[in-house]
Amino acid sequence: MFGCSVKWASKTNWLEQAKIKWAQEPVSLNVVDEAGVKELVANKTDKLRVINLWATWCGPCVSEFPDLITINRMYRIRDFEMVTISADNPGSEEKALKFLQKQEASTSNFIFNLEDKYKLIEAVDPKWGGALPYTLVVEPGGKIIYSKQGPFDVMELKTAIVDSPAIGRIYPNK
Q: Cα–Cα distance between 40 and 83 in angstroms, integer?
A: 8
Reading the chain (174 residues) residue by residue, the pLDDT tens digits are: 555 565 666 666 866 776 677 667 889 999 999 999 999 999 999 999 999 999 999 999 999 999 999 999 999 999 999 999 999 999 999 999 999 999 999 999 999 999 999 999 999 998 899 999 999 999 999 999 999 999 999 999 999 999 998 888 776 655
CA dist 167 and 174 (Å) reads: 9
> What sections of 43-92 are H helices per DSSP?
59-75
CATH architecture of 25-163: 3-Layer(aba) Sandwich (3.40)
pTM of the shown model: 0.88
